[in-house]
Amino acid sequence: MDFRLTEEQEILKKSVADFVDAEVAPIAAELDEKGEFPHDLFRRMGEMGYYGLRYPESYGGSGLDSLTYCVMIEEIARGSLSVAATCAMQSLMGTYFVFRFGTEEQKQRLLVSALRGEKLGTFGMTEANAGSDISAMETTAVRDGEDYVLNGSKMWLTSGTVADFFTIAAVTDKQKGADGFSLFLIEKGTPGFNVGKKIDKLGVRASETTELSLDDCHVPAGNLLGEENAGYDCLKEILCEIRTMTGALSLGLARAALAEALRYSQERKQFGKPIGRFQAIQFKLAEMATRIESARHLVNHAAWLADNGLPNTKQAAMAKLVASEAAVFVADEASRIFASYGFAMEYPVQRYLRDARFLLIGGGTSEILNVIIAKEIGA
Ligand SMILES: Cc1cc2nc3c(=O)[nH]c(=O)nc-3n(C[C@H](O)[C@H](O)[C@H](O)COP(=O)(O)OP(=O)(O)OC[C@H]3O[C@@H](n4cnc5c(N)ncnc54)[C@H](O)[C@@H]3O)c2cc1C
C-alpha cells in the first residue's frame, strides 16, 4: 500500500497552491464581503486548466483521475471555499451531463468553452419542497411535438445568476417517483426560463446562489440529456464523486482554519506566555490535526476506489460525512482559540466558521449520508 501522492500529483498540488496563495487567498475576504461572483478569477482558473482536469484532452481537458482532482479542489478550498465551490460546480456537476449525454455540437459549443472558463454551467435539481427527497420534485417536462415544455421552479442553484447553460431536472413520469425525472439542457435566454435574484447567504457568499422559474419553457427534444426518466441513473454516475470532492473541499477549509489557529496560538500571549503553550490549546490543535488527517484518508481512499473502478458508495458517503463534520469542528475550535478575535470580521476565522456550514449540506446532509451508510452496511 502506497499512501504517497505521485510525482505528477505533487507537482499539480504545488502549482495550485502557488496560484491560490498568489491569486485566491489575498482576495478571499474581499470576495466574501462583497458577495459577488469573481468573474476575473473564474476566467483565470479556466486558463489554468482547473475546470478540465477530469475531462479528455479532446475537449480541452487533461484527463486526470479523481484523486488528483481532490488534490486540486482541496488546495483551492484552502484559499476560499466560495471560489472552490464555483470551481467544483464548473468542473463537475455543471458540465458533466453535457459531456456525457450532450450532442457533439453541444459539447463543442458549451463544454469546450466552459473548460476554458469562457462559459459557465450549473446544475439544478433542488426545489422549495424537494431537497433531500428528490421524489418530491414538482417541476415537470411534457413532450410537445419536437419540444419538451417545462414548468416549475428550482432553488439554490450555485452560480445560477451568472451561468450560461443549466442542466435542469424535471419530472417526466410522475408515477415513477425518483425514477421518473429527466435532465434537460437549457441555455440562458431561453423564453420562459427566468433566473431570480441571488440568495443572501451566511457563507460561501462569493459563490452566487439563486432560484429560477420555468414558465412554459420550450426546449428542443435534443436537449434531453440521457434517456427520458433516466435522470437519477445519470446523476448516480457522479454522486460518489460529488461526495468525495465535497470531502476534499472540507479538507481545504479545515487546513486553512488549523493553520490560522496554530499561528495565532504562537503569537497570542496570556498569563505571560503564548497560549499555544497551554496544554488545553495544544490538545485542541492536536485533535483538529487528527480529525483532518483521518478525513484525508477516507477522502483519498474513496477517490482511489473510484480510480480503480471499484464501488465506493459507502466510502464516499463516509468521506463526505467525516470530512465535512471535521471542517465544522476545526473551524469552531479555531474560533475558540481566537476567542474575541474569532468574533471579529477582520480575521478569517469567522469566514471559515460560516463557510463550513455549507459543507454539511451540499452533496447530501450528514443525516442523509448516515441513511446511506446504514443501508450500505445492512443496518
Ligand atoms: C450554498 C448552497 C448551494 C447549493 N447549490 C445547489 C445546486 O447548485 N444545485 C442544487 O440542485 N441544489 C443545490 N443546493 C441545495 C442542496 O443540495 C439542498 O439544500 C440539500 O439537498 C438539502 O435539502 P434541503 O435544504 O431542502 O433540506 P431538507 O431535505 O428539507 O432537510 C431538512 C433537515 O431534515 C433532514 N432530513 C431530511 N430527510 C431526512 C431523512 N430521510 N432522514 C433523516 N433526516 C432527514 C436533513 O438532514 C436536514 O437536517 C445548494 C444548497 C446550498 C446551501
Please tell me the predicted confidence (pLDDT) of residue 1. Answer: 81
**Mean pLDDT confidence for 274-300:** 98
Nearest to 101 by CA among 178, 167, 177: 167
The predicted-structure confidence for 165-200, as pLDDT tens digits, reads as follows 999 999 999 999 999 999 999 999 999 999 998 999
121-231 CATH choice from 2.20.25.90, 2.40.110.10, 3.30.70.80, 3.40.50.11540: 2.40.110.10
Superfamily of structural domain 7-116: Acyl-CoA dehydrogenase/oxidase, N-terminal domain (1.10.540.10)
Provide the mean pLDDT of the chain: 97
Ligand 1 within 6 A of CB of 235:
no
Ligand 1 within 6 A of CB of 362:
yes
pTM above 0.85, yes or no: yes
Q: Which of 365, 369, 371, 375 to mutate to test the pocket of ligand 1 (most atoms within 8 A of CB)?
A: 365
133 vs 212: CA distance, rounded Å = 19
Q: What is the 52 CA–ligand 1 centroid distance (Å)?
A: 27
Ligand 1 within 6 A of CB of 167:
no
Ligand 1 within 6 A of CB of 132:
yes
In this prediction, what percent of the chain has a pLDDT beyond 90?
Answer: 99
**Which stretches within the chain are classed as H helix?**
7-19, 28-34, 39-47, 66-79, 81-91, 93-101, 104-106, 112-116, 231-267, 279-307, 313-338, 349-359, 366-376
Compute, in degrees rounded to 10, the torsion defined by CA atoms 305, 315, 182, 90: -70
The predicted-structure confidence for 318-374, as pLDDT tens digits, reads as follows 999 999 999 999 999 999 999 999 999 999 999 999 999 999 999 999 999 999 999
Beta strands at 273-274 and 224-225: parallel, antiparallel or unpaired: unpaired
**Mean pLDDT confidence for 302-314:** 98
What lies within 8 Å, CB to CB, of 87 at 6+ separation is 45, 50, 51, 73, 76
Residue with cell 449520508: 369
Please tell me the predicted confidence (pLDDT) of residue 379. Answer: 97
**Mean pLDDT confidence for 297-322:** 98
Q: Give the residue, by CA position, lying nearest to ligand 1 atom 18.
A: 131
Please tell me the predicted confidence (pLDDT) of residue 344. Answer: 96
Q: Do the first three CATH levels of 121-231 and 236-376 match, i.e. the same topology?
A: no
3-class secondary structure for 155-221?
EEEECCCCCCEEEEEEECCHHHHHHCEEEEEEECCCCCEEEEEECCCCCCCCCCEEEEEEEEEEEEH
Instruction: Retrieve residue 309's grid coordinates.
Output: 473502478
Q: Give the residue, by CA position, lying nearest to ligand 1 atom 2.
A: 156
The predicted-structure confidence for 79-102, as pLDDT tens digits, reads as follows 999 999 999 999 999 999 999 999
Q: Which atom of ligand 1 is nearest to the CA of 365?
A: 47
The predicted-structure confidence for 16-58, as pLDDT tens digits, reads as follows 999 999 999 999 999 999 999 999 999 999 999 999 999 999 9
Domain 236-376 matching CATH 1.20.140.10: the answer reads yes
**What residue segments make up the domains of the chain, in order of their start?**
7-116, 121-231, 236-376
Q: Which atom of ligand 1 is nearest to the CA of 133?
A: 29
